[in-house]
């Protein structure tokens, strides 16, 4: 599956169109670039909730990294604001930076954890093959449940599932990023899926 660039429907950036007008955003950006400290406060106040929520969700298996990543996002944004073109909203741009930072975490952690992974190939649990999503489940509850289960998985599995399905990266892209084979990623994903579904049905 091809990855989607920020801003395409189905990705969090699609929800990034804030109420702020383009002019307001340009003024805010120009003020921060001029080193107006109050504008920096407005930038944080306006966008940190979205960036934090995104990082919190995508880093569920490593919640301890969320605060640092959010800070890195804003510092990187500060460095790049002078080149911000306004082609997307400021929030979408910030979430794009967050996405890159989070993928850096996936890459680094999965490279590291790969070394300690066992090579056993776990078959998919036949009992789970017919499992279906509860169609009408409250979306917020589903998100919370998913987050909760992802946090319970081994870190490697959680990060891999998030990268593959929530960030919609192909197994080939993931394999290239972490320096392994596509087959190896698929095997690990199969184990991760199986374990997640066991937890999903148990809860």
Partner 1 sequence: MSDELWFERLAAATSEVGEQRTPSKLKSRIYSALVARMAETGPLLDLKETHEAGGRLCVFERSLTVVPLGKEIRSTNPCRICHARVLAERLDAAPIFWPGCPYSEFHKG
* Among the listed residues 74, 84, 93, 106, the single contact to partner 1 using CB under 8 A: 74
Confirm or reject binding of residue 67 to partner 1 (CB under 8 A). yes
Burial 93-112 (b: 16+ CB within 10 A, else e): bbbbbbbebbbebbbebbee
DSSP output for 58-86:
HTGGGGGGHHHHHHHHHHHHHHHGGG---
C-alpha to C-alpha distance for 20 and 25, rounded to whole angstroms: 7
The residue from 7, 12, 96, 158 that contacts partner 1 (CB under 8 A) is 12
In the numeric block, which tokens belong to residue 165?
């399905």
Which two three-digit tokens encode residue 132?
């279906």
Q: What region does 156 belong to: left with phi over 0, alpha with psi -120 to 50, or beta?
A: alpha
Residue 117 CB, shortest distance to partner 1, in Å, is 19
70: nearest Cα among 28, 105, 42: 105
Among 101, 16, 40, 33, smallest CA distance to 66 is for: 101
CB of 158 to partner 1, least distance (A): 13
Q: Is 34 in the site for partner 1 (CB under 8 A)?
A: yes
Nearer to partner 1, 119 or 133 (CB): 133
104 contributes a contact to partner 1 by CB under 8 A: no
Query: Cβ closer to partner 1: 22 or 41?
Result: 41
Site string for partner 1, 144-183 (x = CB under 8 A): --x--------------x--xxx-x---------------
Q: How many residues bind partner 1 (CB under 8 A)?
A: 52
The residues that touch partner 1, with contacts defined as CB under 8 A, are 10-12, 15, 31, 34-41, 43-45, 48-50, 52-54, 56-58, 67, 70-71, 74-75, 78, 124, 129-133, 139-140, 142-143, 146, 161, 164-166, 168, 190, 193-194, 196-197
């Amino acid at each position: 599956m091809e990855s989607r660039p920020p801003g395409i429907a189905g990705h969090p950036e699609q929800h990034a169109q804030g109420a702020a007008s383009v002019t307001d955003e340009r003024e805010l950006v120009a003020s921060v670039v001029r080193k107006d400290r109050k504008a920096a406060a407005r930038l944080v106040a306006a966008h940190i909730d979205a960036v934090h929520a995104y990082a919190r969700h995508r880093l569920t298996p490593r919640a301890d990294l969320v605060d640092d990543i959010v800070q890195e996002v804003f510092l990187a944004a500060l460095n790049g604001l002078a080149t911000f073109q306004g082609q997307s909203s400021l929030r979408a741009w910030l979430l794009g930076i967050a996405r890159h930072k989070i993928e850096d975490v996936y890459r680094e952690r999965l490279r590291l954890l790969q070394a300690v992974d066992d090579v056993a190939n776990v078959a998919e649990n036949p009992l789970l093959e017919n499992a279906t999503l509860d169609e009408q489940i409250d979306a917020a509850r589903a998100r919370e449940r998913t987050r909760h289960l992802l946090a319970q998985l081994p870190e490697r599995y959680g990060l891999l599932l998030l990268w593959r399905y929530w960030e919609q990266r192909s197994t080939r892209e993931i394999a290239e990023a972490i320096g392994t084979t596509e087959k190896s990623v698929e095997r690990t994903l199969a184990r991760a899926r199986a374990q997640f579904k066991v937890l999903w049905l148990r809860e």
